[in-house]
Amino acid sequence: MNFSNKISDLEKNHLLRSRRIAKSAQGTNMIIDNKDVVNFCSNDYLSLANHPKIKESLIEGIKKYGAGSGASHLVSGHSESHKLLEESLAEFTGQESALLFSSGYSANLGIFSALRDEIQWSIQDKLNHASLIDGSRLIGLPIQRYHHNNLESLANKIKKQSGPGLVVTDNVFSMDGDRANISGIAKIIDKKNITLMQDDAHGFGIFTPIIPDHSIYMATLGKAAGVMGAFVSGDKDFIEFLIQKSRPYTYTTALPASLCHALQKSLELIRQGEQREKLINNIKHFRFISNQLDLSFEESNSAIQPLIIGSSSKALTMSSRLFEEGFFVSAIRPPTVPPKTARLRFTVSANHTFDQIEALLGKVKNAME
């Protein structure tokens, strides 16, 4: 196998990925590649990743439970702290039960893995996250996708199916920032043998979840909640079934209990709502200024604000230019997004200031000219 050729091909097509190195905590102001920058590409939407109260809770959790969990949940790794967090997450989402996973990626694979013998098809929104597509592949289902956010396209696809199946959608789309019409989808699939699964990685903690009866809800804890992990919530029997049948749940080490302890503090801060209010004001301000400057951002009222550039090389050049000017915004290229839709994906956080938003968008305007 010649990996060096493969890497040069990626480089030639402006598709080579590289990693910048942070020398500070995650936040709106960071030191990245030894440069002070304002970070506009973090999923730490509520600015909780470096919140003093969460750090204090994490230290408290480490003192009580140690550094690692030592085993998988079904052996000796499941602690009181995991149990209490699962109860809090079930209550927070208004569901009977919840189950923790180490990441959103493994939670999505975990749901599909458990449903291997239960479903005969899955239909997904065209812009769903890679982990949902990989989940479907894991259990050998063909990838069937409906047009993005298009209920008619979904209804047409459903008509062609028989037997039990799953309709799957992101709630907030990770690269576009727009939101699914969860209630509309639920109406269309109002049949006993079709289940709705939603991935709320980018909405959890920001928008009140809409979870139709007997549906499957997945959200992550490393984005707005500021720590790490993910959970699935839903009916008690379904969660019990996941515990029995989900291989990505069974065959992995449990999250450190200390993180679950810290996540209780995240939930408390999310409930308080102060960070959320700051974030919503920042999103509104971002939209207001970008409209004033006539910048053609996609329609989005979430923390994700994409500006489609088209060519990968242009998106990379703009991202580098902004970095030199002190703003970190990543260029998102295919295959993460469809061909010819490379973009700058801006993310707004609670702790950004209006001045930072205005300075950033001024630079973007200049870079577009």
List contacts with ligand PLP (CB under 6 A): 103-105, 108, 129, 131, 170, 174, 199, 201-202, 220, 222, 230
Residue nearest to ligand PLP (CB): 104
Residue with Cβ nearer ligand PLP (47 or 103):
103
Both tokens of 61, joined, read 């959790």
- Provide the minimum distance between the beta carbon of 324 and ligand PLP in the complex, in angstroms, as a whole number: 27
Q: Which is nearer to ligand PLP, 41 or 151 (CB)?
A: 41
Identify whether the C-beta of residue 73 lies closer than 8 Å to the C-beta of residue 110.
no
Question: Terminal CA-to-CA distance of the chain, rounded, Å?
Answer: 44
Tell me which H or E stretch contains 218: strand 216-220
Cβ(83)–Cβ(283) below 8 Å: no
Beta strands 165-170 and 194-199, pairing class: parallel
In the complex, least distance from residue 218 CB atom to ligand PLP, rounded to whole angstroms: 7
Which of residues 347 and 356 has its CB atom nearest to ligand PLP in the complex? 347
How is 295-357 classified by DSSP, letter by letter?
--PPS--SSEEEEEEESHHHHHHHHHHHHHTTEE-EEE-TTTS-TT-EEEEEE--TT--HHHH
Q: For the CB of residue 355, give the shortest distance to ligand PLP in the complex, in Å.
A: 29
Nearer to ligand PLP, 231 or 328 (CB): 231
- Name the residue nearer to ligand PLP (CB basis): 132 or 316: 132
CB of 257 to ligand PLP, least distance (A): 18
Quick one: which of 278, 293, 286 has its CA closest to 356?
286
**Smallest gap from residue 232 Cβ to ligand PLP (A):** 12
- How remote is the C-alpha of 347 from its chain's centroid? 12
| Least distance to ligand PLP, CB of residue 195, Å | 18
Residue among 205 and 363 whose Cβ is closer to ligand PLP: 205
